[in-house]
Structures are given as C-alpha cells and as structure tokens.
Amino acid sequence: MIVSKRIVALYNSLQGRYGPQNWWPADSALECILGTILTQNTAWKNVEKAIKNLKSNDLISIEKFDSLPTKRLATLIRSSGYFNQKAIKIKNFINFVKKDYRGDLGKMLDEDTDELREKLLHIKGIGPETVDSILLYAAKKPIFVVDAYTYRILSRHGLIPEQTSYNEIQELIMDSVPKDTQIYNEYHALLVKVGKEHCRKKPLCEGCPLEYDPHTV
C-alpha cells in the first residue's frame, strides 16, 4: 500500500513539474508503430529523420511497405541506427498484419488487448516494450510501458528490488494507478522526461522534481 501511494505521488510530482507530454507524436497509427520500432537504441531526433524520409517518399501504408524491398527500406531509415535490423523488424510487422488481418491495421488495433499482445510478442525482433508501446500509443489500450528509465527511477527510489522483471514492474504500476490509457500514457512519458533530464546513468539530482522524496535510498 505504501509503495502504491508513493508511485502515485511520483506521478503527481512529475505532472506538476512538467505538465502534459502529448505522446505519441504521429499523424497515423502506422506512423506511431513505426516510431516504436525505430526508437529502439536511438534518440528521437534520429527517428524523426527516418520517418520524414518515409513520408517524403509517400510510403506510410501497409501496402507500400509490403512491396518495398528490405534493402531500400534500410536505406531510408539509416538515421535511426541499426537500420538493417530495424528494416527487417518493420517488414516482420507488416507481414504479420498482412497474414493475420489481411492488411487491415484497424482490425488489428481493435482486437482484445491480451490476445493482441500475445500475438505481437511472437513477431521476431519485437519485444515487450515495443509491443506495449504499440498497444498504448497506437491502439489506445490501457497498458503501461516499462523501459530502462522506469526501472532506474523506481529502483533508485527504493520502490523495486534490483532483480525485478518487466512484467512485475508493469503489474506494480498498473495496480497502483487507475486503469486509464491517458494516465499510463502520461506516466510513461513523464518518466522518460525526468529520466533524460535528471535520472541518467550518472544522476543529476539537483532540481529534480523527485529530489525531495523522503523515502529515496
């Protein structure tokens, strides 16, 4: 109970400092999904360059990605880093939508959360963080995304032990705050914000909105 109250308190502190983050910046669900794949192991500015290339070539559609050669796709997303691997991941996702939903992305996004999550986790190269980002930001489903910042912040504040799994952290957050898509959206984005500004590998605690948490260890 104490841990849950502190998790809510952290959210309130971050929201009070930073306000709405308005995630995920995208013009369509497919663009959002591309962003969740491209953002792996790179800065968002590099993702923006890659998506801009795809847009300028009028390629943001299931059909066009399906016919686009993987090597050409890799070239277009070069700025995102690990572009060969990411091109394959994108193609794997497109093949999944074509095979399971006849290319109908809307049908995929409307599927039951648990069933869709299980299916997405079977796509080669797509891990839990990316899957849950797709569910939360593209499908607008109430599920919390756990990333390295989440783990680092919660562990530094003594809210989770060092050896805590992705699913355990996700369950802790979802049991502590209301089951609401917008709250999960904002909380994840706020943790990323404070993680980038303060809770880095070498922490910059001065001025952090969580600096005065009396239970910090």
Average pLDDT in the 146-152 region? 97
Q: Which domain does 162 fall in, by range?
A: 2-22+144-197
Q: What is the pLDDT of residues 67-86, one digit of tens each?
A: 999 999 999 999 999 999 99
Same domain for 133 and 150, yes or no, is: no
Answer whether 64's CB lies under 8 Å from 38's CB: no
- CATH number of the domain where residue 85 is located: 1.10.340.30
The pLDDT assigned to 217 comes to 41
- The DSSP 8-state label assigned to residue 198 in this structure reads T
Same domain for 13 and 43, yes or no, is: no
The pLDDT assigned to 211 comes to 86
Band (91; pLDDT cuts 50, 70, 90): very high
The pLDDT assigned to 215 comes to 57
Tokens standing for residue 114: 């648990």
Q: What is the pLDDT of residues 154-203, one digit of tens each?
A: 999 999 998 999 999 999 999 999 999 999 999 999 999 999 999 999 99
Query: pTM of the entire structure?
Result: 0.95
Same domain for 57 and 104, yes or no, is: yes
User: Has residue 209 been placed in a domain?
Assistant: no
User: Has residue 205 been placed in a domain?
Assistant: no
Tokens standing for residue 181: 């898509």
Q: What is the pLDDT of residues 27-60, one digit of tens each?
A: 999 999 999 999 999 999 999 999 999 999 999 9
Question: Which residue, of 138, 164, 187, is where some domain finishes?
Answer: 138
User: Has residue 217 been placed in a domain?
Assistant: no
Same domain for 175 and 111, yes or no, is: no
User: Has residue 208 been placed in a domain?
Assistant: no
The pLDDT assigned to 2 comes to 86
Answer whether 215's CB lies under 8 Å from 6's CB: yes
